[in-house]
Amino acid sequence: MSGIYEFGYRTPRFRADFHFLLQTDGPEARLLDARCLDISDEGIAAQVAEHLPLGSVVTLILTFPGNSTTWRIPAKVCNRQDEDHGFAFIFSSQSERDDVRRYVASLHGETVRMISRSK
């Protein structure tokens, strides 16, 4: 298995396993621990112990593995099944989008290298 999920209606997703923080919005804002399951240029799937309402906007506080920079990226809850949540990034700048794309591309490179070694 290549670790890449392809669907006709969205960008490829890549398995990733790292923890990050998630900040809810509103008068009772909370900081929650989350664990990334997979990521794409457009969003991230993560396990969050608390059920977040579909359509709500949160802030993802991400430090990608191997990188010391922390990004605060708004995201919309677009899917939820038990503890698994799907978030669509709401980029506030091209720089944020480019940083996420670079990380996702690094995962793609690892997957391609892994496949080519097994041949």
The DSSP symbol for 26 reads S
The alpha helices in the chain, defined as continuous H runs, are 94-117
- The arithmetic mean of pLDDT across residues 43-60, rounded, is 95
Higher pLDDT, 57 or 119: 57
Give residue limits of the domains in the chain.
4-117
Tell me, what's the pLDDT at 114? 37
Tell me, what's the pLDDT at 66? 86
- The arithmetic mean of pLDDT across residues 101-107, rounded, is 87
- The arithmetic mean of pLDDT across residues 23-42, rounded, is 92
Tell me, what's the pLDDT at 14? 84
Q: What is the pTM of this model?
A: 0.80
Give 35's strand partners. 19, 47
CATH architecture of 4-117: Beta Barrel (2.40)
